């Protein structure tokens, strides 16, 4: 089976999964306790029975469940995620406004976690019983056990209250002068603490995984053969062992992307980062169901795309998977 056929097959599975997620999200939110019409009327300052009936008719809340579901799925098929009750704005517009901030936080934290985690795992694998390996193991266990919100609060206390080095929250300064470069530096300055917080738990995971994978590969027959041929240790370590130990890391990084997206919600709330996580939290508090369902749908779409890309990358870097 060629790569194009595999890609088409994965995209087909992804579409089926996306439709299932869409139906499940709509069902769970619709049957949840509470009345959306009451929330809308509460924002208006209250309403009588006639106004409540008009609200339900306007937003289609008076129709049977299956008709509401069909109407919503039909609109989503044309990329119409509905209209926000709370923000009085199309949900698609809200998501596109907040999306860059969330993607910046998620991808920067993933890149940091994978890069530093792989480096620490390689250092620990070179001397498995050495001091560096024990330090990496301790830091990994500590980072993996610490909740994200707790790590974020500790960083705020350390680098905002005690040592005022970084800003307390937000994505940029209220008063910003200068061009593109100055703005980029300012955003990076605000991004540092949220990025480190979100990356900490996954950095620990990737370092442990890299260490274990490297030790397994270093004990394989072809590595012993390469050493028997007289190849330099660095060449054996980095060209043969490291390359073949990246498969599990790529797999776990792709599978963990959904967890990173959910962790971003907590990190954005802690650092007041203006992304989809903050928007989701505000929408839940306001019971703005179209926005909540839109965010869930879009997050599922991004996770499915990342998993498809992960599968293709694995086939490109691992000849064993490509041949199968």
The pLDDT tens digits for 30-89 are 777 766 666 666 666 566 677 777 777 777 777 888 888 888 888 888 888 888 878 888
Domain count, the chain: 1
Tell me the C-alpha distance between 237 and 69, whole Å: 55
Asked if the structure places residue 47 within a domain, the reply is no
CB atoms within 10 A of CB 43: 14
Tell me the C-alpha distance between 113 and 263, whole Å: 14
Asked if the structure places residue 93 within a domain, the reply is no
Torsion of CA 40, 277, 155, 117, to 10 degrees: 170
Domain span at 300: 100-323
Asked if the structure places residue 17 within a domain, the reply is no
Asked if the structure places residue 224 within a domain, the reply is yes
Asked if the structure places residue 192 within a domain, the reply is yes
Q: Is the pTM of this model over 0.75?
A: yes
3-state secondary structure of 72: helix
Asked if the structure places residue 66 within a domain, the reply is no
Asked if the structure places residue 63 within a domain, the reply is no
Residue pair 230/285 in contact by the 8 Å Cβ criterion: no
Question: Residue 133 CA to chain centroid, in angstroms?
Answer: 29
Most confident of 13-27, 39-53, 145-159: 13-27
Q: Write out pLDDT tens, residues 84-129.
A: 878 888 899 999 999 889 889 988 998 998 888 888 888 888 777 7
Asked if the structure places residue 144 within a domain, the reply is yes
Return the CATH number at 289. Answer: 1.10.3720.10
Q: Write out pLDDT tens, residues 259-289.
A: 787 788 888 888 888 888 888 888 888 788 8
């Amino acid at each position: 089976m060629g790569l194009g056929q595999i890609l088409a097959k994965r995209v087909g599975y992804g579409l089926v999964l996306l439709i299932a997620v869409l139906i499940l999200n709509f069902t769970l939110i619709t049957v949840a306790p509470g009345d959306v019409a009451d929330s809308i009327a509460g924002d208006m300052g209250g309403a009588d029975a006639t106004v409540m009936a008009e609200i339900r008719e306007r937003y289609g809340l008076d129709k049977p469940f299956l008709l509401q579901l069909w109407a919503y799925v039909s609109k989503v098929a044309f990329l119409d995620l509905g209209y926000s009750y709370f923000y009085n704005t199309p949900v698609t517009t809200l998501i596109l406004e907040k999306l860059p901030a969330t993607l910046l936080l998620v991808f920067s934290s993933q890149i940091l976690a994978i890069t530093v985690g792989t480096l620490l795992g390689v250092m620990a694998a070179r001397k498995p019983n050495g001091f560096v390996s024990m330090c990496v193991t301790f830091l990994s266990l500590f980072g993996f056990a610490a909740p994200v919100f707790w790590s974020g609060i500790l960083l705020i206390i350390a680098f905002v209250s005690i040592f005022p080095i970084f800003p307390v929250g937000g994505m940029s300064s209220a008063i910003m002068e200068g061009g593109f470069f100055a703005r980029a530096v300012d955003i990076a300055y605000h991004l540092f603490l949220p990025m480190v917080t979100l990356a900490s738990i996954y950095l620990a995971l990737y370092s442990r995984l890299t260490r274990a994978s490297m030790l397994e590969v270093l004990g394989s027959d072809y590595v012993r053969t390469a050493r028997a041929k007289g190849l330099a240790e660095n060449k054996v370590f980095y060209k043969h062992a490291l390359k073949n130990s990246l498969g599990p890391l790529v797999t776990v990084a792709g599978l963990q992307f959904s967890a990173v997206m959910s962790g971003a919600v907590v990190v954005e709330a802690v650092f007041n980062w203006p992304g989809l996580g903050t928007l989701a939290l505000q929408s839940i508090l306001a019971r703005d169901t179209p926005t909540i369902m839109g965010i869930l749908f879009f997050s599922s779409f991004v996770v499915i795309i990342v998993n498809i890309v992960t599968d293709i990358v694995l086939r490109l870097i691992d000849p064993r998977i490509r041949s199968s």
